[in-house]
Structure 1
C-alpha cells in the first residue's frame, strides 16, 4: 500500500494544538556533568537563549532557585535506572523573568560516548491547569512514540510507547538501526527521510506509511511520523529525533473512501447485467478478497425483467433460483469455484434461508470452519473446496436496490492470512450497494430495450415477397444498446397488375416512441399504396400524417404528458412494373437507391430529394427509370452508409463496390453487405432491402383495343375466354368471361375512349380495362326490383380483389382471380 507523504518543508506550528502536541516544547540534550550539548528552536522560543549561547555552557544557569545537589543526584540515579523523571521547576528567561515549566527528564543514553539526558520543558499556562495529569510522564507514558538517533541512525533513546508500537524490547533496539529491527515498516524509506533531515536540517512532518510490526504481526498498521534535527553549539546537527503516532483507523477510513471511489469508476461501465456482476468480482480481487462470487436471481437475468422479488411483497420461494453471474480469484481459472458463469446455483451460508436475500444483513464469518456440521450437511461440495484451497474467512452480502432483491455476493480469503474484520463488512456492503444499483439500472434498461426491440421487430415485415416481378432479400440490424432502437423500416407491397411497391424509411429519434411511430407510418404507407397512389402523391399524404402526429405530440406536452415531440422522418417509395420494366420513385429527404446492372455497372439514380416528412408546405416529385431484367435494385437507410463515418459519398461508393460482387444468392449478398460495411455495433439502426428484377414476358400479357360499340363486348369476351383456356386456366374461363363483360360494358357506357382490355397471367390472373376517363367507379347494392347496378358488385363477388388506379391518361379498373 502506497504511503501518503506530506511536504518536507512544512512550517513549524505557531503553538500547541492540544495537550499531547509536543511540537513547541523546549528540548535540550544535557550531559551527565550538566553541560548543554544540544539545544532546539523550541528551547530558544520558550527561554529566549539561542543555541550558540547555550551549547557548551552549564544548564544550572537556567534555574531560578538555589541548587540542590542531592535532588539532582537522585533525579540522575532514577534516569540511569531507565524510569525518567518529571516535575515543576522555576527557570529564568533570558530577559530575567521567572517562569514555571513542566520539566521532563528522559532515561539516560549515550551520545558519542558521553552519558546524556533528553530534557524537555513546557511553559505552564493557566488554561492548561486541568491537563497536568495528562502531561505528567509525557516521555514515558505518552501515546506518541519518541526516539533519538545518532548520526549513524542508531537508536540512543526511545520511550515506552515506541517500544510498544514496534514490539522490539528497548535493550534490543539501543545501538541498532531501524532496518535491522523492523524491515516490515518501510525501513529503507524512513531511513532515507532521516538522512535527508540530517543533510538539510529541515524537519519532515506527518509522513504517513503502513506496514507490519512484531507487536501485531498479523495486522497492518498505519503510522504518522515527524522527524526533526538536534543541533549543537556550533549549529551542527548531532542527531535526529522522531515522533510516531498510530493512525490506523484514519488510514483505513481513507482507504475505504478511496476504494469506494475507485469502485464507482470501475463498476457499472456498461448497461449489461452480467458484465456489471463480473466487474464487481474483478474489482474486489485482489484489493479486498482472494475469491469473489456474484450470484443473481434468474428473474434479474430475464430479458423481460419479470418476477423480481420486492423486499416488501411477502414471502419468497423457499429455494431461490440463482445463476452465477460473476467470478474472480487470485488463482488462475478460479479453481475454488464449484459452479461456473451461467450455471444455476443455490448458495446461502448455513443456517441462513431465503430471507437473507430479502431483508437480511451481511454475514461475517471471521474464521471459516470446514468441519462445521451445517456446512458439511448443506454444502458438501463447497466444504471440499474450502479445505483444498484454504478458504478461512468469508463475508456474504445480499444485493438489493430500489426495494428489489437481486442476489448475493460472497467474498472469501485464502492466500491473505488476515481474517475479515467488522470494519471490512462496511466496505463489502458499500461495494455491493454500488454494484446493486448498477445491476438494477442494467436490468431495467435491458427490459426496456428488449421491449423496444420486440416492438420494432413485431412492426417490421416477417416475410417479404415480390411475386414473379422481384426476388427480394432484406437485412435489419438494430442499433447498439447504448443508442437504443431506432425507427428504420422497409416493406414490399404487392400492387395490382403484377406491380410491386418498395418502401424504406427512417424515423428521427430512438426508443419505443420512434418504434411506435415507425409502425404507424408503415401502416399508413400500406394503406396509401393499396389505394394505388403514385409515389409523389403518397409521400404528400404521408407528410400530412406526420404533421398531424407532431401536432398531437406537441399538444400532449402542453397538457403535461411526458411524451417526446415527434420531429420527422425520411422515406423513399418506388413502384416497379414487370411488364414495362419501369420503376417510378419519389423520396423525402432519403438517400437515393442503388442500381447494379446485369453487367455489374453501379449507379445511383437521383430522384429529386424532396424535404423530410414533417416539414410541410413543399411538393414531392417522382422520377421514372427503366431497369434491365436481372438488375439489382437496393434501398437502404443512412446508418448503412454512415457506419464508418459521416462521408455519405464514400459510404455509397463502398456499398456499390460490395453489391457489384458476383454473388448469385440475393440473401447471402444482403447479409454480407451489412457485415462488410458495418462490422461493429453502431448507434443507428441499419436497414437494407435488395431486389433482383424480373420481366413479365409477352406470353404472360395479352391486350386488345375495344371499339366504343356495344357489339364489341361479345367479341372481346370471346377473345379473353380463348386466351384463358390457352393458358391452361379453363377453370377460370367462365368467371373471366363475366368479369370482362361487366368491366368492358361499364367502360363503353360511362367512360371515354380509348378503351383497352389487358389480361395478365402471374401469381394471379388479372383483368384490366383502361379508359381515358378520370371518374371513379362506385360499388352499388341494387334493390331487388332494380334492373341494373349489379355489375361491380358481381365483379367483387367473383374476383379475389378488385380496384381502380389512375394513370396520366385516365384510369384502370382491375380485378384479380386466384389461380387454382
Structure 2
C-alpha cells in the first residue's frame, strides 16, 4: 500500500480533522488541520471550535445526535495564515460525548467534485474513448471495454501490443512515453491501428494525450483521448490524392513522363505497386483504335512504380507489349470506361494462363484495381494498382476514387498525345526543310546536326546548309530564326529557299546577306501587327574556294565560325558581323581567311554555345584538342552537341562541320591572253595540249570549241587581258574571265544574223554553264562530264 506524503496529490492529504466534545471544545487536532490554519494543536486544544469560525452565526445549532446523520456545510475559518473557506462534515463517534470534524479547502473540494463528475461523464459516454494508463502504459481505467479493436477486449492491465499490430503499437507507445518524459501533450495525432484479432480490420484514430502528475509534479500516468477519425482521414486522404493527381500529372507534355507521374501518384497513396499501360498508337501521338472484347489490344507498358522494392523481373517490364486479353466481362467493362476491382483468385481463373498470371500479378498481390484512361470516348490505356502489403482489399469507394483520378490522368495523357503528334509534324517539317546531313566532294566534306531545344520546347528556326557552287566552290550557311514553332520553321524554309536562289546567282556573301535582309523585312511587314517586332534572324555565310585555298565570311548578327587548322590550333574567325537580318540600314562586311587542306570549319547557332557553357570560347575549347583528320565528322558533331548541361539547352542547336581537302597539284591550269583576235588560236592550242597531258583527248574537240567561243567573245566585247583556267575534277571545268561587267545572254540567232550563236553553241556542248561577278569583272564557266 502506497503511503501518502504531504506533497502527494491525494484527496486524503488535504483533509483536516479535529475531535471535539459535546460542548464544542477541541480535544485533539491533526497535522493537516495545523497546516490548513497555520495553528499548532497546543494553540487550539481545550478551546471552543467556534473561536476558529469567522461567522459563528452561520453554523447550525447543536451537534448531530448519535442516531442521526452528519452535519455538513461551508464555513470560513480564521487562522495564522488568514481566512480560508472550507467544506466540513461533523460525524458522531462511538463515544456519545465525542464528535469527529472533517474539513477540506472549499476550492479543493470543488476540484475533486468537478473532477469526479468529469471523469464519470467521460467514462459514461461512447463518442470519445478515454483510457487512463499508468507509467508502464498499462490500462488503469477505460470506457472502451466492449471490443474496441476487433474481438480483443480492452481490459484493465491491457498493453498496446496486446490489442494492435506490433508496428502500430510501437509508434503509439513511443509517442506516449515522450508525453510521460517531457510533459508536452499530444493533440490530434493520427494513429493507424490494425487489429490482431482481425488482420484486415484497420482504423484511423485521432489521439490526444496528457501526462498525469501527483502533488509533487512527478509523472503518475497518462490519459489518452481517442476519436474514431477513419472516415475523416480517409476523406482527407482521398482529397489529397485528387490534389496530387491534379497538381503533378500534366506538368509534362512527354507521354512517358506523364505515365510515370500517374504511377508515382498512385503509390503508396493508393496501393503498393502500380503500372500504366498505353496504346502503341497513343505513344506515337495518334488516336487509339476502337476495340471491343478480348484479343491483342496493342498496349505497351509505359511506366511502373514498384514502391520501395525493385520491380520484379518476372513482371512485364517497361516497354513490353501486353499479351492478348481473353474476352471477359471485366475487359468489356474497362473498354466501356468503367473501373473494376478483382482479387487474385478471380484474376487467375479469368486469365487461365499461368505465364500471364506470373507476368501480371506480383507475388504477394491479393487485390487489384484497374481504371481505363478514358477520354473522348476512347481508351488511351489502363492504370492498374495492386495491394501487396496492406491487408485490406479494394472496395467500391476505392474503385470510384481510382476512376475519378484516372479521368484527370486521361486528359493529361491525351494532351501529351496531341502535343506529340503536333511536335512530330513540326520536327518532320524541320527535317524535310533541312538538307541531307552529310555531303562529300573531292575538296570538302560536311556533316550537319540539328537538335530541338530540351525540356519539351517547340522546334525552332535554326538551320544549316551546304550548297555546291560551280568551280568546286561551296557555300556554307548557318542561320537562326527568332522564335519557335511552325511559324519559325516556315520562315526558315523561306530563308533557306532564298539562300539557294541567291547562291545560284553566285553572289558574294555580303551581297547575299543584303538580299536576305530585304526578304526578312518584307516577311516582318506581312506579319500581324503584334508579331512584327519578333520577326528576325541571324545568319552566317562562308564561301569556300578550294582552288584559292580561302574562305570568304560574312555574318548578320551571328556568332563567328571556328577554324581548326591541321596542326590542331582552334580559334574563332575574326570578323565584323553586321546587324541581324530585318534591322536594315547597315552594310555587311566580308573577311577572307586562308584555309589550308585538312582544316576544319565549325558553323553553329546559339544553342551549341549554351550546351557547351555559354561562351564562344567554350566551343573553341571543345574543338581545340587534335582530332583525327580521317575521323568521322558525324561522330565529332555528336560529341559537340552532347551537352553536359541539359538544363541550359533552352534553344535549338544547328551545327555544320566542314573538313577541307586539297586538289592534286596538276589539277589546275591557268593562262592569260591579250585582247588580240590572234590569241584565240593560242588558247585552243594550250587547251589541246593540257587535255592531252591529262589523258582527256576524247573531249578535246568539244573543249576547243567552247574555249574558242568564250575567248572570242571576251576579246570582242572587253578591253584588258583575258584569263583562261581549266580545272580537272569529277568533271572538266573551263573558266574564261574578263574585266567587263556585261551580263552574257543566251539568245537564238535568226538565219540572217552574222553572230549571236556563240553562247547557244556553248550551252549545247557543255553539261551546264553560267557566270559570276567578281571585284574586277566577270567569269563565264562551263562544266563537261569526263569520259568514262
Using the size of structure 2 for normalisation, the TM-score is 0.76
The aligned residue for residue 188 of structure 1 is 173
**Whole-Å separation in 1 of the counterparts to 2:158 and 2:687:** 122
Q: C-alpha displacement at 1:609, in angstroms?
A: 1.5
Matched, 1:623 2:591: yes
1:674 aligns with 2:650: no
Match of 2:548 in 1: 580
Gaps of 5+ in 1: 1-28, 36-51, 54-71, 73-93, 95-114, 123-135, 558-562
* SS across alignment from 1:308: coil
Deviates more, 1:567-576 or 1:383-392: 383-392
Residue in 1 aligned with 2:280? 298
| Alpha-carbon distance in structure 2 between the residues aligned to 1:217 and 1:526 | 77
Deviation at 1:808, TM superposition (A): 1.4
The CA distance in 1 between the partners of 2:653 and 2:121, in whole Å, is 82
| Distance across 1 between alignment mates of 2:314 and 2:612 | 43
Instruction: Tell me the equivalent position of 1:735.
Output: 702
User: Would the alpha carbon gap of residues 601 and 235 (structure 1) be closer, same or farther in structure 2, given more than 3 Å must change?
Assistant: closer
Matched, 1:308 2:308: no
Aligned residues of 2:163 and 2:195 also touching (Cα < 8 A): no
Q: How far off is 1:637 after superposition? A: 2.8
The 1-side partners of 2:462 and 2:523 are apart by: 17
Distance 1:147 1:118, change over 3 A: farther
SS at match of 2:749: coil
Q: Which of 382, 390, 408 in structure 2 is aligned with 1:416?
A: 390
Give the Å deviation of 1:654.
Answer: 0.2
Q: Which moved more, 1:454-463 or 1:544-553?
A: 454-463
Contact 1:470 1:694 in 2 (8 A): yes
Moved more, 507-516 or 344-353: 344-353
Instruction: Choose from 549, 567, 571 the match for 1:599.
Output: 567
Aligned twin of 1:455: 429
Q: Does 2:142 match 1:165?
A: no
Give, in whole Å, the separation in 2 of the partners of 1:473 and 1:646: 23
Distance change >3 Å, CA 118–CA 670, structure 1 → 2? closer
Aligned equivalents of 2:523, 2:570: Cα separation in 1:
38
Change (3 A) 1:679 1:254: closer
Contact 1:272/1:446 (<8 A) preserved: yes
Secondary structure of the structure 2 residue equivalent to 1:417: coil
| 1:748-800 C-alpha deviation (Å, 9 max, x unpaired) | 33333232333222222222222222121222233455443333222222222
Q: Distance in 2 between matches of 1:633 and 1:519?
A: 24
Task: Say if 2:437 and 2:448, in contact at 8 Å, map to a contact too.
Answer: no
**Partner-residue secondary structure (3-state), 1:704:** strand
Residue-by-residue CA offset, 1:325-382 (whole Å, 9 max, x unaligned): 22344695544855332222146586237654543210022x4325875443xx4434
Q: Match for residue 372 of structure 2?
A: 398
Residues matched between the structures, number: 687
Which structure has the greater CA radius of gyration? 2
1:531 & 1:701 partners in 2: Cα distance? 24
Equivalent residue runs for 1:449-528 within 5 Å: 449-462=423-436, 464-465=438-439, 467-528=441-502
Specify whether residues 522 and 235 from structure 1 end up closer, same or farther in structure 2 by C-alpha distance, changes over 3 A only. Answer: closer
Looking at structure 2, the residues matched to 674 and 295 of structure 1 have their Cα atoms a distance apart, in angstroms, of 36
Q: Summarize the Cα distance change of 1:773–1:245 in structure 2 as closer, same or farther, 3 Å threshold.
A: same
Q: CA deviation at 1:517?
A: 2.4
Candidates 788, 812, 816, aligned match of 2:755: 788
Structure 1 residues 258 and 162 mapped into 2: Cα distance closer, same or farther (>3 Å)? farther
Question: Which residue number corresponds to residue 272 of structure 1?
Answer: 254
Relative to structure 2, which stretch is displaced further, 504-513 or 696-705?
696-705
8 Å CA contact retained: 2:297, 2:324: no
RMSD: 4.3
Aligned to 1:6: none
Checking the alignment, whether the CA contact within 8 Å between 1:498 and 1:578 is kept in structure 2 is yes
Q: Which runs of 5+ in 2 are unaligned?
A: 1-9, 17-35, 38-68, 70-85, 87-111
- In 2, the alpha carbon distance for the partners of 1:483 and 1:572 equals 24
Provide the rounded CA distance (Å) in 2 between the counterparts of 1:230 and 1:702: 111
Q: What CA distance in whole angstroms lies between the structure 2 residues aligned with 1:235 and 1:498?
A: 101
1:535 lines up with 2:506 in the alignment: no
1:590 counterpart = 2:572? no
Contact 2:145 2:155 in 1 (8 A): no
Partner in structure 2 of residue 258 of structure 1: 240
Equivalent residue for 1:765, pick from 732, 748, 751 = 732
1:407 shift after superposition = 0.7
Is contact 1:707-1:755 (8 Å) kept?
yes
**Aligned equivalents of 1:768, 1:514: Cα separation in 2:** 40
3-state SS of 1:781 partner: coil
Encode CA deviations 1:414-471: one digit per residue, 9 max, x unaligned: 3432111222224423443444344333333333333232222222221554633324
Indicate conservation of the 8 Å contact 1:230/1:241, yes or no: yes
Contact 1:30 1:118 in 2 (8 A): no
Task: Tell me how far apart the structure 2 counterparts of residues 363 and 628 of structure 1 sit (CA, whole Å).
Answer: 73
Q: Pick from 436, 439, 443 the counterpart of residue 410 of structure 2.
A: 436
Instruction: Pick closer, same or farther for the CA change 1:487–1:162 going to 2, 3 Å.
Output: farther
Relative to structure 2, which stretch is displaced further, 682-691 or 345-354? 345-354
CA 1:272 to 1:704, structure 2 compared with 1: closer, same or farther past 3 Å? same
Counterpart Cα distance in 2 of 1:707 and 1:743: 14
The reply to whether residue 648 of structure 1 matches residue 608 of structure 2 is no
**2:318 aligned partner:** 341
Contact 1:579 1:697 in 2 (8 A): no
1:196-216 deviations in Å (ceiling 9; x for gaps)? 7xx96x976544422124675
Q: 1:683 to 1:316 in 2, by over 3 A?
A: farther
Aligned partner of 1:359 in structure 2 is 336
The 1:451/1:790 distance shift into structure 2, 3 A limit, reads same
1:85-139 per-residue CA deviation (whole Å, 9 max, x = no partner) reads xxxxxxxxx9xxxxxxxxxxxxxxxxxxxx99986489xxxxxxxxxxxxx9996
Q: Contact 1:572–1:587 at 8 Å: present in 2 too?
A: yes
Partner residue in 2 for 1:86: none
